[in-house]
Amino acid sequence: MAAGGSTAAALGAFIVFEDEAGFSMTPPTTRTWARPGHTPVIRVRGRSQRRFSIAALTCYKPGERSRLIFRPRRHADHKGGGRRSFTWAEYRDLLTAAHQQLDAPLVLVWDNLNMHLHARLRAFIDAHDWITSFQLPSYAPGLNPVEGIWSLVRRAGQNNTAFTDPDHLMCSLRRTLREIQYRSDVIDRCLAATGLTLTSSRPKSQQRPPPQRPGGTSARPSASLPPGCLVSVRFWWVW
């Protein structure tokens, strides 16, 4: 998906990855200390139905601090078969808020969730020049850095915790995500874990021949980037 990086460079945009995840009152289990022969037991309230969904954006741009933007959604009618995911309008509002917060165009990269392909959401994206979207390959969650964010949230904010009520769960999730927001290095490592990298390139129209040394030999080019060059992100899918 090299075109996504070229588009971001030309627009001076943030590369934005999006994903969503569900969370319930039943926490994930991890290892802990206990007396020999006494397996620790944690009693939790509520069933395992999803109580909250969170949509998150990881935002990258060379020369800028990496950002994390998220929006939670509580499922009040989880027992009555109500919607347990975001609507197309909620995705629209999230993208609009991200555009205003970043104050830059967006190159959006997300999966093929049916709501991402909703006709009204596609019409919204096509009608605004500050956003361009690309779809990730099918069955490729390892290429989305937001998956790393979810792993951190479940390990740091949920594991081995008996939540007293949904508000306790939401408070823990918010606290963990806000801590990650202050750690741009953690957000960068989530991108590095996917194997995708930020690379720099200069348009061919701006390329200049290397300076000539006396005697006709070319001088070795400097390792630093010249002012005014464009920086892009290039994605390569290897199958």
User: Looking at the domain assignment, is residue 211 inside a domain?
Assistant: no
Under the phi-then-psi rule, with left for phi > 0, alpha for psi from -120 to 50, and beta for the rest, what region is 89? alpha
Here the tokens at position 117 are 């392909």
Residue 39 has pLDDT above 50, yes or no: yes
User: Looking at the domain assignment, is residue 218 inside a domain?
Assistant: no
The pTM of the whole model exceeds 0.85: no
Instruction: List Cα–Cα distances, 131 to 11, 18, 97, 125, 179, in angstroms.
Output: 10, 13, 12, 6, 28
Looking at residue 94, its pLDDT comes to: 95
Q: What is the Cα–Cα distance from 202 to 228, expressed in whole angstroms?
A: 9
User: Looking at the domain assignment, is residue 77 inside a domain?
Assistant: yes
Task: State the chain's mean pLDDT as an integer.
Answer: 78
Q: What is the Cα–Cα distance from 125 to 115, expressed in whole angstroms?
A: 13
What total of structural domains would you count in the chain? 1
- DSSP three-state, residue 8: helix
Here the tokens at position 205 are 């129209």
- Of 107-121, 153-167, 213-227, which range is least confident? 213-227
Residue 235 has pLDDT above 70, yes or no: no
User: Looking at the domain assignment, is residue 117 inside a domain?
Assistant: yes
- Of 12-16, 137-141, 218-222, which range is least confident? 218-222
Strands (E) located in 31-179: 50-60, 67-74, 106-110, 131-135
Looking at residue 189, its pLDDT comes to: 95
- Of 24-33, 123-132, 147-156, which range is least confident? 24-33
Q: Which residues contact 83 (CB under 8 A, 6 or more apart)?
A: 75
- Of 6-10, 110-114, 154-158, 203-207, which range is least confident? 203-207
Check if the beta carbon of residue 6 is closer than 8 Å to that of residue 232.
yes
Domain that holds residue 59: 2-28+48-203+228-234
Q: What is the Cα–Cα distance from 226 to 210, expressed in whole angstroms?
A: 13
Separation of CA 143 from chain center: 10
Domain CATH code at residue 104: 3.30.420.10
User: Looking at the domain assignment, is residue 210 inside a domain?
Assistant: no
Looking at residue 221, its pLDDT comes to: 42
User: Looking at the domain assignment, is residue 84 inside a domain?
Assistant: yes
User: Looking at the domain assignment, is residue 80 inside a domain?
Assistant: yes
Instruction: List Cα–Cα distances, 199 to 87, 108, 142, in angstroms.
Output: 34, 18, 20
User: Looking at the domain assignment, is residue 75 inside a domain?
Assistant: yes
